[in-house]
Structure 1
Amino acid sequence: MRNKNTSVLLFTLIYSMLIGGYLLFLISPRFLGANMAPIEDIFYQNSKIPKISAFNESLFIDGKDTFAAKAISEGWSGDGSLNDPYIIENYEIYATIEHGVHIRNTDLHFIIRNTTVNDGKLNNYYGFYFENVTHGRLEDNTAYNNQYGFYLKNSFNNTLIANTAIGNTNGLTLNCSYFNILTANIITDNRHGFSLESSYNNTISGNEVIDNTYLGFYLSSSYNNTLTENLATWNLNGFTLSYSDLNTFSNNTANNNDQHGFRLLSSHYNNLIENSASYNQKYGIYLEESTFNVITGNILEDNGWGAIYEKFTDDTDYPDVFLIAAIIFIYYNIIALLSIILIKLMFFIKRKNIKSFIPKLSLKKRKE
């Protein structure tokens, strides 16, 4: 009896261990792999969600005195100097009645970080708006669903690093702004991506401009800017230059865009060095009325219409006379051939009818 009880106990333990092992296997990440999003997908999805921070009304600062008073009322640390900048952080702002963060007419040193501005698009309000600002720094902020995510006008020596613009009409724009540094920003799912308008001597590196409806990187009447190691993919064009000269593009990637990797319109003396422009629907590099550009060491593979194309006014797209002549020649030859066949067919039918009529006449004569 004792041996029987021992056997039952041993069997129960073994059975429990097997069931437990099977249940552990079922809930293991390896087993769930088919139903779990990859880590990079989860990161991408989370990157598209605005950061959550303390709710606050819009921030408007005009001039040094206003800045100092606002710093006291908000309890910001710092004094606005180079070594002790004002620190503005951890806000969540809804830009429904005015621009989210609007700072103008100051050269004080300040840092804005971990702040989100949402929902200004409906009333044409901006997320982060600098106007005549020097020495500002935007770091790790998010602009979501605004008219402009980040907009710098007449602003100099500012730094934008690791910010995100999602779902805005315009992601990030510099207008008449010089000597700014823009690094590691993510501009995605906007109507237009990253734009420079009449802006000079800016340094733009390591930014990602992805899946915007129209413009990827766009330079209009902008000069002496340096763009390095940026990514532009799934936009209309990766990089577009319009009336922009003396810019340098190196080690950038412009792949899988709906039209061209790089498009230059009336833009001269630019350097395109060791970039990648591949798998675009049209050309890797498209030049229109653009001369004296240095294009070397670029990877231009598997573009739909070719690697590079250069077009000038004299290259007006006239109709292809030879092609039209060939089509007309073939058309009339086909008509002529069909006519000959039809005539021969009619002649054959008529001849056959005559032959069938002659024996009938001969038979009638014999009977007579």
Structure 2
Amino acid sequence: MDKNATNFLSLDYELVPIEKIIITADSNFSDYGFPGTGSANDPYIIENYNITKPYYAGIVIYETTKHFEIRNCYIDSDEGIILIRIQAQTAKISDNIINNSYSYYNCDAFGIRVYESDFVTITNNTFINSKSSIQIFESKSPVVHKNTCYITLSDKLQYASGISITACVSASVKFNNCTKVPLGYSITKCYSSVFSNNYALENSGTGVWIMASNNTIVNDNVFKSIGSYGILLRFNNYSSLNNNTCENTNYGMKLLYTSNSKIHFNMIRDNIDYGIYVDNCSNSNLITHNSFIKNKVGDKYSQAYDAGSDNVWYNSKTKEGNYWSDLGKNETYTIDGSADSIDIYPLNENLERTSFMLISMVLLLICFSFISIRRRKSS
């Protein structure tokens, strides 16, 4: 077992060595002697195996209809697990460790790949030194939760990616951690996906790249110390980005060919260049209630850039815009770029805090008055 994997292992069971597992028909499950019957209530269980085999895939399953679970396995091979055209809602992959130590130098170091298989669940797996930890193609409603992607051979894996979802509908990508992976996450040509509560740290490229994926929800994610972009949107429409943190990146968020999206309540701070950059082909986006703090420090101009059309940086109904740490005594905030955008209702953090303090003081006075009145009545 590779020493890089030992940091992630805490096993209270023994692994059984096996060369590889190849299943091409339902009957193969019983051929291997896996426990279970393949029903929804009694799936075949593939667990506690040590598959260490260079130049091969560890587990391959395709065109089956039986229910199965792959769990608690250690796989060190060119490719970890491959699923192809599995019947919907029959596959679960959880609590495995996949280490591509044999093939990190070539293009075949993949952790899990799924093709045309609906409702596959991939949870709580650990990937070490994969060129791509999880790839899912042309599948409906995949669930990818609580997985960890980590690279210890960063000098060999400049183009590695963590989790990639392509041509899928209603994907759920939540609570994952991709650390020191050049591209943390990518969502491409998808529809109505949810990307939330994910984490990326010290990625040399991009935190999440979302391309040609309309109606994507991007909420509560954290991207820190990213080389290029915290969040990169390209050819997207009608998406929502809320409560994300983009900190210490080059650009916090970059919008290219992206329109009719809502960007609210994000923390965008300490980025080298613009906190949010909107190109000339991005239109009709609403950008409010974000905190821009010390982005593009040393530049005498704005923390954001807008070259598009009809992008609005404030809520006209509530008369609230964004918080800008360099607002100073100005009553409006000018955004760089040919759009000549202005936040005419910038939020003032000091006023908000003062208002909270005033409310607290008023409530205390009311309480004291009520107590004194009660005491007078009782006396």
* Both proteins in one fold, TM over 0.5: yes
Match of 1:331 in 2: none
User: Does 2:171 correspond to 1:212?
Assistant: no
Q: 1:52 to 1:270 in 2, by over 3 A?
A: same
Quote the sequence identity (%): 20
Match of 1:246 in 2: 238
For 1:75, give the aligned amino acid. Answer: F
Shift of 1:205: 1.2
User: What do the CA deviations read for 1:160-197 (whole angstroms, capped 9, x no partner)?
Assistant: 11101112611110111111111110011112110011
Structure 1 residues 244-283: aligned runs within 5 Å:
244-257=236-249, 259-283=250-274
Structure (1/2) with the larger helix percentage: 1
TM-score (norm 2): 0.64
* Pick aligned residue for 2:40 from 81, 91, 100: 81
- Judge which range, 46-55 or 275-284, deviates more: 46-55
Q: 1:83 to 1:75 in 2, by over 3 A?
A: closer
The 2-side partners of 1:233 and 1:202 are apart by 23
For 1:310, give the aligned amino acid. Answer: D
The 2-side partners of 1:300 and 1:48 are apart by 41
Shift of 1:77: 3.9
Matched residue count: 264
Shift of 1:89: 0.8
Structure 1 residues 341-360: aligned runs within 5 Å:
none
User: What do the CA deviations read for 1:73-101 (whole angstroms, capped 9, x no partner)?
Assistant: 251546253885522111111123xx210
Give the root-mean-square deviation of aligned CA atoms: 2.6
The 1-side partners of 2:237 and 2:30 are apart by 41
User: What do the CA deviations read for 1:213-248 (whole angstroms, capped 9, x no partner)?
Assistant: 101110111111111111111112110011111111
For 2:246, what is the secondary structure of its paired residue? coil
For 1:102, what is the secondary structure of its paired residue? strand
User: Does 2:177 correspond to 1:197?
Assistant: no
Determine if contact 1:153/1:177 at 8 Å carries over to the other structure.
Answer: yes
Match of 1:350 in 2: none
Match of 1:122 in 2: 105
Match of 1:322 in 2: none
The 2-side partners of 1:75 and 1:108 are apart by 19
* Pick aligned residue for 1:175 from 156, 166, 171: 166
- Judge which range, 302-311 or 169-178, deviates more: 302-311
User: Does 2:103 correspond to 1:103?
Assistant: no
Determine if contact 2:264/2:290 at 8 Å carries over to the other structure.
Answer: yes
Shift of 1:47: 10
The 1-side partners of 2:130 and 2:32 are apart by 27
Shift of 1:131: 0.7
Determine if contact 2:261/2:284 at 8 Å carries over to the other structure.
Answer: yes
Match of 1:332 in 2: none
User: Does 2:304 correspond to 1:308?
Assistant: yes
For 1:95, what is the secondary structure of its paired residue? strand
The 1-side partners of 2:292 and 2:201 are apart by 19
User: What do the CA deviations read for 1:312-342 (whole angstroms, capped 9, x no partner)?
Assistant: 59x79xxxxxxxxxxxxxxxxxxxxxxxxxx
* Pick aligned residue for 1:160 from 144, 149, 152: 144
The 2-side partners of 1:263 and 1:222 are apart by 15
User: What do the CA deviations read for 1:119-177 (whole angstroms, capped 9, x no partner)?
Assistant: 24323221110111112111110111122111001111121111011126111101111
Structure 1, gaps ≥5 residues long: 1-45, 317-368
The 1-side partners of 2:140 and 2:35 are apart by 23
Structure 2, gaps ≥5 residues long: 44-66, 152-156, 310-336, 339-379
Determine if contact 2:5/2:128 at 8 Å carries over to the other structure.
Answer: no
The 1-side partners of 2:196 and 2:119 are apart by 19
User: What do the CA deviations read for 1:348-367 (whole angstroms, capped 9, x no partner)?
Assistant: xxxxxxxxxxxxxxxxxxxx
TM-score (norm 1): 0.66
User: What do the CA deviations read for 1:192-211 (whole angstroms, capped 9, x no partner)?
Assistant: 11001111111111110111
The 2-side partners of 1:217 and 1:205 are apart by 11
Shift of 1:110: 2.3
For 2:188, give the aligned amino acid. Answer: E
For 1:100, what is the secondary structure of its paired residue? strand
Determine if contact 1:105/1:132 at 8 Å carries over to the other structure.
Answer: yes
The 1-side partners of 2:208 and 2:167 are apart by 16
Structure (1/2) with the larger strand percentage: 2
